[in-house]
Structure 1
Amino acid sequence: MSYSILSTWSGAQKHPRHSPVHRRSTVHRGFTLVELLVVIAIIGVLVGLLLPAVQAAREAARRADCQNRMRQIVLASHNYESATKRLPGYAGEHAPLAVNMVGGIVRTDKKGVPWMVQILPHMEQEQLAKNLGRICDTIPAAVPISQSDYSFIEAVVQGFYCPSRRDAKSYPLLAPFKDRYGEYGARTDYAMCGGAAYSADPNLAGVDLEAEGVWSLGNKIQMKEITDGTSNTLFIGEKAMSSIRYKTGSDYGDRAPLAGMPEYHGVTNSYVRFIARGTHSDVPDSCTSCHDFGSAHIPGWNAVMTDGSIRTVSYTADMKVLKAVATIAGREVETLDN
């Protein structure tokens, strides 16, 4: 009996029982709903603070890219001038002054190659320039082009697009361009400066102002004719557009593809702008923008002077200054600053 009790006591020593009072809990404590909501709120505040800064940085990068693309256009135009001794001109809107831009000879049939096509060989796009030149300068406007030529109409030149406005691709064509060129055509977001005003202005009836700017209707000017100075003379700028028609092809000042169609006056609206009514940011819907400079950028529209220098022009810039820099020989003393 004593042996049994001793044996039992010994076993108990080897395997002692632990009281629940001394047992430690291994349960992990999680977040409460209040704590989780606080964390989410903090993250939301941080995102709200950082997102505008990120968006502003991205837009600044796009605006700088836009400026660089415009500078390359001016450089290509300078190379064109070095090769031909004249700057590119443009075919366009008014029958008496229409011109064949290949040879610079005045013609009554109003054939012509748009200014963008003229400088393409100096943007490493020589083959595209040849095909577009053939299409718009040898095929009558009343004759639809062959389907094999559609690819040239749709061919995109990335340097002609503002990255803040739309992707570099072809966009829908409307009549009469659709009847001639098919469903889609490449575009440009940049326009040449035709001068301080345009002849359709009812206040300037009977006054010929097409020869005021660097880009002259019916004429290709020489550098020596820019007596106001190349740093004081506007070369190209961003063209104003309706902000809800970037991709529809229905903006009146954006209807023509790069190949143009000089027999139709709407071509000029797509490629040339005048300092006639001032400038403005892209508005939701406005037909009056078809002759104006403007932009999708918030600070102002990008402009490149004839010497290649860049300006960011405020939408509230002095009209007297704008009209002065739009002319090549106006003898004005105003300069366009950032």
Structure 2
Amino acid sequence: MSTESEPSTKVQRASLSAMALVTFFFLVSCAGMAFLVQTLFQLGTGWIPYLKRTLPTLTVSASGVLWFLFCLALFVTGLHLACRGVYRGKQETAAAEENQGWQLRWSFSLVILLLVLVTSGICLIGVSHQLWWMATGKDKLVYQGGMTAARRSTSKNNLRQIGLGLHLYEDAHDRLPDGGTFSETGQPQHGWVAQLLPFMDQEDLYQQIDFDQPWTDEVNRKAYETRLPMLMSPGMMSDFIQQEVPRADNDRYPPAHYAANSRVLGINSRMSLRDITDGTSNTIFAGEVSEGIRAWGSSLNYRDPARGINQQPDSFGSHFIVDSKTGAQMLFGDGSVRFVSDDIDPEVLKRLSTPAGAEVTCEDWMEGKPVTGRQNRHD
């Protein structure tokens, strides 16, 4: 009975193993680590394109096959004679009836072992070459397709958290935060990020800030030197404007890799969602920046999206590439985050930048199509 149940047990184990493997790959994909699956797939199937390229160029001749077999026979014969001589010398002290000599099958086994070792070495070289291609090739699967995708996803989530904070602030104060506050004498005070801190799970940090003093004042130094991960895009360099924070390189404030739209969150703007008559889904609130990065406490951390994407040091932009296009991820007023390529129609980008320009903006801008016509658009 145990013999009959043994095959069914093996089938059950195989089924459970397959289900566990599928579940593992599914969880890895959901966790934003699909590049691990891609890496394993490329390692397992990367040799197929090579075979497709090389097999048609190979030619097999009868003389070549015969020559290979002749050389292999000579090698086996020589190896057998050499091993038999060595083995006989080791067995001189043994009894004659116990000394059976070196067996021919042992020579064949040794030849097969050598062939396996040579093949394994060639495979190891092939795997190393495949890994190097995946890391440094044109497509850069391991880095570009995997790590960069994960970093882009993290940056996208950061923008969504900023968008949620903006809406929570608007619900509490019936207006959006000012992009920057200034005193009556024009002295910079605080930026929009500081005003959002209570709505981004940073209430304790918010309580440490003295809003009656400028953000660069010594009393606020400890608070503004706190690093905020949700404002830092993974892999981005911290390129500050030195004129704003005249300190040593090792004593600067932490950066913000995201800036606000100056047409929505400007100087003492006090704009509410009701003022955005073009529609929140058609209005940029904030976006990624890769040059001219300012500290998150700066009261000047905003810029005009209409100046282009990756066009100037003071424009929005990033190093991310989507569908072979460079651009930047932008936060819109409805809380969505969309990738805007740097070759977008300037007129469309201007319409997306203005909160109340009385323009119509369709979704064709995401496909790079020109948009024409003007009319009011409301949520």
Fold conserved between structures, TM > 0.5: yes
Contact 1:172 1:183 in 2 (8 A): no
Distance 2:215 2:246 in 1: 15
Contact 2:215 2:221 in 1 (8 A): no
Give SS of 1:312's match: strand
Matched, 1:118 2:206: no
Candidates 197, 201, 213, aligned match of 1:138: 213
| CA distance 1:278–1:171, change in 2 (3 Å) | closer
Deviations 1:270-323 (A, max 9, x none): x11213431128xxxxxx412x01002112310011010111111111111100
Matched, 1:85 2:174: yes
Distance 1:140 1:180 in 2: 18
Contact 2:283 2:353 in 1 (8 A): yes
Matched, 1:224 2:295: no
Contact 2:158 2:231 in 1 (8 A): yes
Task: Show the counterpart of 1:62.
Answer: 151
Amino acid in structure 2 at the alignment position of 1:324: R
Higher helix content, 1 or 2: 2
Task: Show the counterpart of 2:356.
Answer: 329
Structure 1 residue runs without a partner (length 5+): 1-14, 92-97, 101-106, 195-212, 242-252, 263-267, 282-287
Structure 2 residue runs without a partner (length 5+): 1-93, 367-379
Distance 1:175 1:301 in 2: 26
Matched, 1:289 2:313: yes
Give SS of 1:236's match: strand
| CA distance 1:150–1:172, change in 2 (3 Å) | farther
Matched, 1:44 2:74: no
Q: Normalised by the size of structure 2, how large is the TM-score?
A: 0.60
Task: Show the counterpart of 2:261.
Answer: 193
Give SS of 1:63's match: helix
Task: Say what the alpha-carbon RMSD is for the aligned residues.
Answer: 3.2
| CA distance 1:293–1:173, change in 2 (3 Å) | closer
Task: Show the counterpart of 1:99.
Answer: 182
Contact 2:330 2:338 in 1 (8 A): yes
Identity across aligned pairs (percent)?
28
Distance 1:179 1:17 in 2: 91
Amino acid in structure 2 at the alignment position of 1:215: L
| CA distance 1:173–1:228, change in 2 (3 Å) | closer
Task: Show the counterpart of 2:227.
Answer: 156
How much does 1:240 deviate? 3.3
How much does 1:86 deviate? 0.6
Q: Count the aligned residue pairs.
A: 258
Distance 1:16 1:181 in 2: 84
